């Protein structure tokens, strides 16, 4: 499974994360977790994720084939909102091992944007995985 799809699947199915991000758009329910960009006018809170890098590992000691870096961006109307979502995401992903995949939080930081209309935090995850 592609790293972004794995993250979407784990987070959207977790009540502590997906439950906070439920939304109805055009009469259809959705979880506000999007690849790269959220649709225009998406109400906060929401998450985006993007593949930053994916490097094949050909070494004999590596059990899995690729080492990817995925960044999750959290957008909310309050600082408490991004903190709550960040902690819930961390509980679902950090040091998670499933068949063919291992996730590790490697960096987390707030973005300061003078004049911004919302709060924004990023989390970077290292994803060791076997490509599909």
pLDDT digits (tens, 9 = 90+) for 16-53: 998 889 988 888 888 999 999 999 989 999 999 999 99
Q: What is the pTM of this model?
A: 0.86
- Domain of 53, in residue numbers: 3-129
The number of folded domains in the chain is: 1
Q: Is the pLDDT of residue 132 over 70?
A: no
* Mean pLDDT (whole number) for 54-80: 81
Cα-Cα-Cα-Cα torsion 69, 50, 102, 60, nearest 10 degrees, comes to -40
CATH of the domain at 86: 3.30.2000.10
Is 37:47 a contact under the CB 8 Å cutoff? no
Is the pLDDT higher at 5 or at 32? 32
pLDDT digits (tens, 9 = 90+) for 106-129: 999 998 877 778 899 999 999 988
């Amino acid at each position: 499974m592609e790293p972004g799809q794995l993250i979407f699947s784990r987070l959207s199915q977790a009540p502590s994360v997906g439950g906070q991000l439920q939304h109805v758009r055009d009469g259809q329910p959705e979880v506000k977790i999007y690849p790269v960009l959220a649709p225009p006018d998406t109400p906060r809170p929401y998450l985006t994720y993007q593949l930053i890098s994916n490097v094949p590992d050909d070494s004999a000691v590596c059990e899995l084939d690729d080492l990817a870096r995925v960044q999750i961006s959290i957008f909310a109307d309050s600082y408490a909102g991004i903190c709550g979502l960040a902690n819930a995401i961390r509980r679902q992903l950090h040091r998670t091992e499933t068949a063919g995949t291992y996730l590790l939080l490697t960096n987390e930081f707030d973005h300061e944007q003078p004049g911004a209309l919302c709060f924004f935090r990023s989390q970077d995850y290292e994803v060791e995985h076997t490509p599909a």
